[in-house]
Amino acid sequence: MQTLVIVSHPYPEQSVAIKSLQQIAEQTADVTVRHLETLYQNDLARFDIAAEQKAHEAADRIVYLFPIHWFNLTPMLKAYLNQVWSYGWSFGPNGTALKDKEMQVVVTAGANALTYSEQGLIRSSMDEVLTPMKASAYYVGMKYNQPLAFYGAVGASPETLATFQAAFAERL
């Protein structure tokens, strides 16, 4: 099984949690890592669409790894989906490029798990926050794996980061 990991973080130089997870992906066999802001900075219009589509086609499973910022995807990941998941490629006529591939969403969040619950501050679960990814996956015929969410990711201790890394390694 070939896995593509698309990493997005708007401030890669400030990242601790996502960076530590990216390192795990880079050490794993049969995993290709592409970091959007490293490849394209924060330019929403510079994607090498052919290269990105080719990377998706070569994979059986695509992992999207990003931090939750304002309960949403990163701007680059949203722009990426807009442009790379194009009409006629992932949907529409002959648009079957992603069909039957797995989508695995992996996120880090500053808030704790209780915040992401019906009783919590935001009255929403992480699954609900990630609805756009789930809906997009099903729209193009992908299998949607249960997202992996790492809470309390701001200022996480080395021990906590190690538990994040171990859980991610297991999923990979």
Ligand X SMILES: Cc1cc2nc3c(=O)[nH]c(=O)nc-3n(C[C@H](O)[C@H](O)[C@H](O)COP(=O)(O)O)c2cc1C
What's the gap between Cα 109 and its chain centre?
13
Binds ligand X (CB under 6 A): choice among 3, 6, 8, 15: 15
Residue located via tokens 């949203």: 78
Does the footprint of ligand X cover residue 33 (CB under 6 A)? no
Q: How far is Cα 125 from Cα 146, in angstroms, rounded to an integer?
A: 13
Binds ligand X (CB under 6 A): choice among 16, 58, 135, 169: 16
Q: How far is Cα 13 from Cα 77, in angstroms, rounded to an integer?
A: 17
Cβ proximity to ligand X, 36 vs 97, nearer residue: 36
Q: How far is Cα 32 from Cα 27, in angstroms, rounded to an integer?
A: 10
Residue located via tokens 């297991």: 170
The nearest distance, CB 109 to ligand X, in angstroms, is 3
Considering only residues 97 through 126, tell me which ones interact with ligand X, judged by CB under 6 A.
108-111
Cβ proximity to ligand X, 95 vs 120, nearer residue: 120
- For ligand X, what does the binding mask look like between residues 39 and 78, x meaning CB under 6 A? ----------------------------xxxxx-------
Single-letter amino acid, residue 49: I
Binds ligand X (CB under 6 A): choice among 3, 9, 47, 85: 9
Rg of the chain taking only CA atoms, in angstroms: 16
Q: How far apart are the first and last CA of the chain?
A: 10
The nearest distance, CB 113 to ligand X, in angstroms, is 10
- Residues forming contacts to ligand X in the complex (CB under 6 A) are 9, 15-19, 67-71, 108-111, 153-154
